[in-house]
Amino acid sequence: MKKNIVVLGAGMVGKAIAIDLCKDYAVTSVDLSPKNLDELKKHYPIHTIATDLSVAGKLKQAIEPADLVIGAVPGYLGYETLKTAIQCGKNVADISFFNEDPFSLDELARKKKVTVAVDCGVAPGMDNIILGYYDANMKVEKFLCYVGGLPRTRTMPFQYKAPFSPIDVLEEYTRPARYVVNGKTITMPALSEPEFLEFDDIGTLEAFNTDGLRTLVHTMKHIPDMKEKTLRYPGHIELMGVLREMGYFSKEDMVIKGKKIRPIDVTAQLLFPKWKYGPDEEEFTVMRVIVEGIDKGIRKKYTYNLFDRYEHSTKTASMSRTTGYTCTAIARLIIEGKYKNYGINPPEYFGRNAQSFGEILKYLKTKQVYYNLKEETL
């Protein structure tokens, strides 16, 4: 009998996860929108449930038969959804970009004797896994990650589109960015310290500070220098900065004609149709991960480069592929019993395990997601 996996959320990434896993497992996809579920039900052996996951009772009912739960809901639902799944005694692989500290659920997960993987995407996610591997095998002194998902065609004024919930994207422009310099954690505003980088097949991109280190700030505090930056086409930072300074990203209630409203909610609704990808619209994911330090007495620099495009044959977005297949690789390790560690497990924990690291990279290669390694002696 096939093991049961319940995927919470049927957006672009949630769909890709469900489709990938349904070949080997009994998969149920759960979402508020019946429209999001129609394609899955029509074309794949996937059971679907249309329900409101913000209601704890309905969520518990949906995940009751699961051997593993995958969280692919918007960030504002992520923490409570994860907490409920743990309370129900479920192993979890989660990609929700929630603001809360996942380690606040560590004691509960240990008590329930479940393995909970968080931030199982491309970044945070695969970059953490890479760092975890090298941290276990050398003295790491510096870690840098540059990452972004962009449309192939640049359209003014935004030169950007979002493969997932726009309100989650807006967090990148508002949430203070934590990074580590000389062993000290420093907080800077999002969008700060812009710099230009060159990438093959793309050209010049603009990088800026975002809060992408997440769990690494706690689990890798012995590494003296760590930073993560988001990549966009040049000019995007300035536009987002103007919108932020004008208050369009504010979460504080305003009273307009007697009604309370948050500016960020209005902004997200206005941006969604403009940032939504069209059918078969080409986009790509680009990431550069740099690890420097002392390896067996020699100063080394390891650089991983990812450049992944929209897959026309399966009509799967690159961000869905690079995020979703990292998640499914981790999910397979957990459900097959190849990785078992009660409590909260950020991606770097999987990287520390050489077998898990190798299997994740190997699985991604089977999906044509390639991380090309360049090794240098400094």
Q: Is 59 within 8 Å of 41 (Cβ atoms)?
A: no
Q: Which residues pair with 229 in a beta bridge?
A: 146, 209
Burial of 199 (0-12, 13-18, 19+ CB in 10 A): middle
Count of residues for the chain?
A: 378
Q: How far apart are CA 93 and CA 82, in angstroms?
A: 9
DSSP state of 278: P
User: Which pair of structure tokens corresponds to residue 200?
Assistant: 């093959």
Per-residue pLDDT of the chain (378 residues; tens, 9 = 90+): 899 999 999 998 999 999 999 999 999 999 999 988 998 989 999 999 999 999 999 999 999 999 999 999 988 899 999 999 999 999 999 999 888 999 999 999 999 999 999 999 999 999 999 999 999 999 999 999 999 999 999 999 999 998 766 777 888 898 899 999 999 999 999 999 999 999 998 999 999 999 889 999 999 999 999 999 999 999 999 999 999 999 999 999 998 888 999 999 999 889 888 898 888 899 999 999 999 999 999 999 999 999 999 998 888 999 999 999 999 999 999 999 999 999 999 999 999 999 999 999 999 999 999 999 999 999
- pTM for this predicted structure: 0.93
Delineate the domains of the chain, giving CATH numbers in brackets: 4-121+319-370 (3.40.50.720), 126-309 (3.30.360.10)
User: Which residue is associated with the tokens 């420093």?
Assistant: 186
Q: How far apart are CA 175 and CA 188, in angstroms?
A: 9
Q: How far apart are CA 295 and CA 297, in angstroms?
A: 5
